[in-house]
């Protein structure tokens, strides 16, 4: 019994130590914000394949069908102001957070590598 307890304790200590190291992938600020504010409607991968928005072309942010335009300026306005009746705005986000979200949308679209900006 003591041996099992000792092995369990060592395994738990190793897991805690491993979790605190830099070997685990870190999410970017944009991905964290995406998961918090956007993924429930647009999906984790930006495809829009979620129960409430499946089949709505503008919910898929990975393609070129954008109601308000897919350039960075248009994305900034939509994030901050929303789309009436379709998407809430997020005026509480800082300029840096909005920029991080836009950068992450470019990652989802395959236009950038995570952690880089243009």
Tens-digit pLDDT profile for residues 49-90: 999 888 888 899 988 888 777 899 999 999 999 988 889 999
Residue-level pLDDT at 10: 58
Residue 87 placed within a domain = yes
Residue 18 placed within a domain = no
Please state, for a pLDDT cut of 70, what percent of the chain lies above it.
75
Residue-level pLDDT at 113: 75
> In the beta sheet, which residues pair with residue 87?
83
Range of the domain at 42: 26-108
Mean pLDDT of 21-48: 87
Helices and strands of the chain, counted as H and E runs: 5, 0
Residue 103 placed within a domain = yes
CB atoms near residue 48 (< 10 Å): 20
Residue 21 placed within a domain = no
Give the burial class of 49: count Cβ atoms within 10 A of its Cβ; 0-12 exposed, 13-18 middle, 19 or more buried.
middle
More confident residue, 5 or 55: 55
Whether the Cβ atoms of residue 82 and residue 74 lie closer than 8 Å to each other: no
Q: How many domains, the chain?
A: 1
């Amino acid at each position: 019994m003591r041996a099992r307890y000792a092995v369990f304790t060592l395994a738990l200590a190793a897991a805690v130590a491993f979790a605190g190291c830099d070997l685990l992938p870190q999410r970017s600020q944009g991905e964290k914000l995406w998961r918090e504010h956007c993924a429930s409607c647009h999906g984790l991968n930006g495809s829009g394949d979620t129960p409430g928005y499946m089949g709505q072309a503008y919910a898929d942010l990975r393609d070129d069908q954008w109601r308000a335009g897919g350039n960075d300026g248009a994305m900034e306005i939509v994030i901050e102001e929303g789309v009436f009746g379709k998407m809430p705005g997020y005026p509480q986000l800082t300029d840096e957070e909005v920029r991080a979200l836009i950068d992450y949308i470019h990652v989802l679209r395959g236009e950038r590598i995570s952690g880089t900006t243009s």
